[in-house]
Amino acid sequence: MGRKLLLEHINVPGINTFEVYRQKGGYASVEKALKTMTPDEVVEEVKKSGLRGRGGAGFPTGMKWSFLAKPEGVPRYLVCNGDESEPGTFKDRFLMTYIPHLLIEGMITSSYALGANTSYIYVRGEMMPQIRILEKAIAEAKANGFLGKNILGSGYDLELYVQPGGGAYICGEETALLESLEGKRGNPRIKPPFPAIAGLYGRPTVVNNVESIAAVVPIVNDGGEEYAKIGIGRSTGTKLISAGGNLAKPGVYEIDLGLPVEEFLYSDEYCGGIANGKRLKAVVAGGSSVPILPANLFLKTINGEGRLMSYESLADGGFVSGSMMGSGGFIAFDEDQCIVRNTWNFARFYHHESCGQCSPCREGTGWMEKVLHRLEHGHGSMSDMDLLVDVSKKIEGNTICPLGDAAAWPVASAIRHFRDEFEWHVSHAGEAVSRNYGIAHY
Ligand code: NAI
Ligand code: SF4
């Protein structure tokens, strides 16, 4: 049975209220940090924990915090990225809905560590229920002395605001998010400078994902070393996985990093296998932005060892036979699913969401969508696959923000691993399209 650091109390009735959350030991990390630790000591615990950013990039959180510029007299900010929009990813929404005070507690403790007196939670605009839930939780925390002036008599002041997002996927990219928070169109900025140097209103800013901020609570309560004991290698702690697609038991699971993939997929504690007794065909392990892998490559690493749910093991083999942990949006495809149709679907999404600032992304995503549309609808040609790979290569690495790569990788990996399926769509043009045709990838 895996540890539950974030979801331990998720099924307790009323855990979304301050009263019940407090009865279950909530806000202890705030008391510990503000009463017994300096801000630098909190940063040190997060560094020791080895926590890596849970939004998708996996950048070490403690290192990001220590990059934060601290010029005298200049305000700095903590911004929580709750814009979760990655297809297949719904774990942050789950946390915000069911245990909002965990996020509020993490925000207070983290803001104290960073010396921020004003912090924001930027929540995807479509998530109005979650925005209301967080606003209520903030009001409760404030009424109980955990926000506002002189929190718990420590002399530390913090105002925390919820900001509805701008309604675009790109607003989840950290610099686009900051533009949006400033009231502008959410266009990504060129990095560097990183937000740690010039972020919100040009001031030093840390942007962290919802789950990363929530993880600060057990790290401060139990100590960074205890947290680092969980997991494997540089993948420490627990991770929330949004499990979806053709699974017997889709949902949000908290796993110890390092859990064998087979156990996650097939044990009753987690996904319970593939729905309706079907066979697994392919997996996207970290949200739509990461490469898709056929089942045989997904279950075993390049050395033939059982793959683990860790940053390193999932990426093993690189683009040839590796996926990525990404945001933890785990999508399983059963034997009946059409890879061409799915790839077209992802391409449509990225074309629609491209902000249009850079030509390779603006033009390339449109081009890929068009070619995939004709393949899927029986008008493609055998040269289209090479054309798609060529376009994806011209996008990759040539754009301002990672949306370009995110659009290119699923297409390139689908053609690398399922080329026969694309070819079938050409050779069987005129027959019913969007049909799985039964070449085994198990
Ligand atoms: P990134 O690797 O550019 O940056 C990671 C973080 O480290 C950023 O906060 C950045 O400011 C910081 N950083 C990196 N180098 C730094 C330096 N030298 N100094 C100071 N700070 C530094 O990746 P990014 O753009 O933050 O995230 C991309 C990932 O986001 C993708 O891999 C994808 O998996 C994920 N994603 C998640 C979504 C979701 O809904 N959860 C949506 C879309 C993408
Ligand atoms: Fe905009 Fe795409 Fe360029 Fe990102 S890569 S800045 S989404 S055009």
Q: Which of 405-433 are b and which e, b meaning 16 or more Cβ less than 10 Å from the residue's Cβ?
A: bbbbbbbbbbbbbbeebbbbbbeeeeeeb
Q: How many Å lie between the centroid of ligand 2 and the Cα of residue 400?
A: 6
Q: Is the CB of 288 under 6 A from ligand 1?
A: no
pLDDT per position as a tens digit, 31-44: 999 999 999 999 99
In whole angstroms, what is the distance from residue 65 CA to residue 206 CA?
7
Q: Is the CB of 58 under 6 A from ligand 1?
A: no
Res 432: pLDDT: 53
Res 435: pLDDT: 53
Between vectors from CA 238 to CA 236 and to CA 243, what angle results, nearest 5°? Answer: 125
pLDDT per position as a tens digit, 48-68: 999 999 999 999 999 999 999
**Mutation to probe ligand 2, out of 170, 349, 365 (largest number of atoms < 8 A from CB):** 170
The pTM is what? 0.96
Q: Residue written as tokens 């510990």? A: 32
Q: Residue written as tokens 């560094």? A: 47
Q: Reduce the secondary structure of the chain to three states and give it as a string.
A: CCCCCCCCCCCCCCCCCHHHHHHCCCCHHHHHHHHHCCHHHHHHHHHHHCCECCCCCCCEHHHHHHCCCCCCCCCCEEEEEECCCCCCCCHHHHHHHHCHHHHHHHHHHHHHHHCCCEEEEEECCCCHHHHHHHHHHHHHHHHCCCCECCHHHCCCCEEEEEEECCCCHHHHCHHHHHHHHCCCCCCCCCCCCCCCCCCHHHCCEEEEEHHHHHHHHHHHHHCHHHHHHCEECCEECEEEEEEEECECCCEEEEEECCEEHHHHHHCCCCCCCEHHHCCEEEEECCCCCCCEEEHHHHHECCCCCECEECHHHHHCCHHHHCCCCCCCEEEEEECCCCHHHHHHHHHHHHHHHCCCCCHHHHHHHHHHHHHHHHHHCCCCCCCHHHHHHHHHHHHCCCCCCCHHHHHHHHHHHHHHHHHHHHHHHHHCECECCCCCCCCCCC
Q: Is the CB of 195 under 6 A from ligand 1?
A: yes
Mean pLDDT of the chain: 95
Instruction: Report, as an integer, the average pLDDT of 343-363.
Output: 97
Res 3: pLDDT: 85
Does residue 243 come out as left (phi exceeding 0), alpha (psi in the -120 to 50 range) or beta?
beta
Instruction: Report, as an integer, the average pLDDT of 393-422.
Output: 97
Q: Is the CB of 316 under 6 A from ligand 1?
A: no
Between vectors from CA 413 to CA 412 and to CA 419, what angle results, nearest 5°? Answer: 85
In whole angstroms, what is the distance from residue 210 CA to residue 207 CA?
10
Res 430: pLDDT: 67
Question: Cα 136 vs. chain centroid, distance in angstroms?
Answer: 25
Q: Which of 68-102 are b and which e, b meaning 16 or more Cβ less than 10 Å from the residue's Cβ?
A: beeeeeeebbbbbbbbbbbbbbbbbbbbbebbbbb
Between β-strands 235-236 and 231-232, what pairing exists: parallel, antiparallel or unpaired?
antiparallel
In whole angstroms, what is the distance from residue 105 CA to residue 110 CA?
8
Instruction: Report, as an integer, the average pLDDT of 227-247.
Output: 98
CA torsion angle for 316, 245, 83, 184 (degrees, to 10)?
100
User: Is the model's pLDDT at 442 over the cut of 70?
Assistant: no
**Mutation to probe ligand 2, out of 358, 359, 369, 394 (largest number of atoms < 8 A from CB):** 358
Closest CA to 50 of 38, 35, 37, 60: 60
Q: How many Å lie between the centroid of ligand 2 and the Cα of residue 202?
A: 21
Res 440: pLDDT: 41
Instruction: Report, as an integer, the average pLDDT of 137-160.
Output: 98
Q: Which ligand is nearest to the CA of 286?
A: 1
Instruction: Report, as an integer, the average pLDDT of 397-424.
Output: 96
User: Is the model's pLDDT at 307 over the cut of 60?
Assistant: yes
In whole angstroms, what is the distance from residue 404 CA to residue 358 CA?
9
Res 322: pLDDT: 87
Lowest mean pLDDT among 85-94, 292-301, 315-324, 351-360: 315-324
Give the amino acid at 217: V
In whole angstroms, what is the distance from residue 125 CA to residue 166 CA?
6
User: Is the model's pLDDT at 434 over the cut of 90?
Assistant: no
User: Is the model's pLDDT at 438 over the cut of 90?
Assistant: no
User: Is the model's pLDDT at 2 over the cut of 50?
Assistant: yes
Q: How many Å lie between the centroid of ligand 2 and the Cα of residue 359?
A: 8
Res 166: pLDDT: 87
Res 433: pLDDT: 52
In whole angstroms, what is the distance from residue 307 CA to residue 313 CA?
6
Q: Percentage of residues in the chain with pLDDT exceeding 90? A: 93
